[in-house]
Structure 1
């Protein structure tokens, strides 16, 4: 989250499903995959917060259809997923991390790779992320004039419902990490699933994908935390600027009406 959004390349086939939870190095992982697969990677956090507005609304529709838990709606959701990811070489981060069975159904030949980190460090990182969105009423108001991102809080609410569907009612940060690993082992065939720590660099990732280690190319190290903070601040500034513009227009119109009535 917070990097630059990727642009799909026609004809590119999705080869990797990133199943690692947010805050497990998904930004660095995405950058590494873009190098190895020579194609754009759909990093959910980045695409939904800085990409075209329909990114958020499309995933919201997908999640609602899946939560309905019936065959026709599920099939419609799979069609939307395929359309949304057309032209991407991989998908990482939320909401895809809670849609792994659906993604495997759409892309049966894709490798499923789950990024991992120390669970305690992950929980602390998630607590930091929750702190950024804790004032939901403020973010709802300030982002209201911004297409797409105005739906972000509702998008997060649907992601939370997906968490409950998979991890149970107590699927918060304190228990979700281990439950996610267990869930992946249940829904993904062993031969298709890999767990990867970005601290290990190129070798294990390249081995899993059957590729050579890139020469003279260091493994990407993107700071997710700093990127998220920058993105939140950017949207707050955008929202405040638009609100200033709205108030200025309203004030000018009100003044014009007042002068006409004098």
Structure 2
């Protein structure tokens, strides 16, 4: 997860579908793509939590109709994807990683790149994320925040997508990790699919995209730290909003009481 949401640039050609699961270096990968493709990259986690509320609400709507049961739902899913990615050079992270089939239909010329890491380390990392995103009090604390009030619902539809694709809920296991890899091998032709570890740096990524290696270090963004910081910031913001609301209520009640007693 990055620090700032991306802004679409009209006329940008969509080139890369990021098929790697969350916590596989998707934030670093997104920044690397931004540099190589010279265009904005849509990182799912960042856009859903830090961009305007339309982002997270759109994903909730899409995933509530996914997988599509009929032509009408298929059309809806396609239209939301086209709207969300208009003006972007690439998209990464969830829920994109679970919508590769639909993305290929929309962008038939796009390259599919799946970020990977050690499977055991991924399982441990996902356990931390799952614990943070399912705290029982989140729905109440986040209620005053325009976009994040939808976060618990967003997590629920993401969970539905995950169960459909990999057949398991939290805690995630290596079954999900390797399930994504096998799924991609089934639906993406080998000449369009790259499995990439961000620790490998620029060379394999640039080779796959036909780009020169840039004269800058490969990005190194810690998703875990970003997620922890976001959670802390959002919880504090929610509590502050609640405190202000309750203070306002108290002031109104006391003022009404004083006015009433003064008239007696």
Provide the C-alpha distance between the structure 2 equivalents of 1:78 and 1:110, rounded to a whole number of angstroms: 16
Structure 1 residues 149-188: aligned runs within 5 Å: 149-169=148-168, 173-174=172-173, 175-188=175-188
Contact 2:2 2:221 in 1 (8 A): no
Contact 2:19 2:114 in 1 (8 A): yes
Structure 1 residues 176-215: aligned runs within 5 Å: 176-215=176-215
Q: Secondary structure at the match of 2:211?
A: coil
| 1:1-48 alpha-carbon deviations (Å, 9 max, x no partner) | 252111111111211000000000000000000000001110001111
Provide the C-alpha distance between the structure 2 equivalents of 1:171 and 1:10, rounded to a whole number of angstroms: 39
Q: Secondary structure at the match of 1:195?
A: strand
Computed over aligned residues only, the root mean square deviation of the Cα atoms, in angstroms, reads 1.2
Query: For residues 179 and 166 of structure 1, do their structure 2 counterparts lie closer, same or farther at Cα, with a shift above 3 Å needed?
Result: same
| 1:49-90 alpha-carbon deviations (Å, 9 max, x no partner) | 111111110011111122342121111110111011111111
Structure 2 unaligned residues grouped into runs of 5+: none
Q: Does 1:224 align with 2:223?
A: yes
* Between 170-179 and 80-89, the greater mean CA deviation after superposition: 170-179
Q: Which residue of 2 aligns with 1:72?
A: 72
Contact 2:130 2:171 in 1 (8 A): no
Provide the C-alpha distance between the structure 2 equivalents of 1:66 and 1:130, rounded to a whole number of angstroms: 22
Provide the C-alpha distance between the structure 2 equivalents of 1:147 and 1:259, rounded to a whole number of angstroms: 34
Q: Which residue of 2 aligns with 1:87?
A: 87
Provide the C-alpha distance between the structure 2 equivalents of 1:133 and 1:59, rounded to a whole number of angstroms: 17
Contact 1:29 1:220 in 2 (8 A): yes
| 1:141-181 alpha-carbon deviations (Å, 9 max, x no partner) | 11000011111111111111111111124685212001111
Task: Give the structure-1-normalised TM-score.
Answer: 0.96
Provide the C-alpha distance between the structure 2 equivalents of 1:172 and 1:68, rounded to a whole number of angstroms: 26
Q: Give the drift of 1:190.
A: 1.7
| 1:69-126 alpha-carbon deviations (Å, 9 max, x no partner) | 2121111110111011111111000111111111111111110000000000000101
Contact 1:2 1:49 in 2 (8 A): no
Provide the C-alpha distance between the structure 2 equivalents of 1:173 and 1:105, rounded to a whole number of angstroms: 28
Contact 1:2 1:231 in 2 (8 A): no
* Between 98-107 and 164-173, the greater mean CA deviation after superposition: 164-173
Q: Does 1:22 align with 2:22?
A: yes
Structure 1 unaligned residues grouped into runs of 5+: none
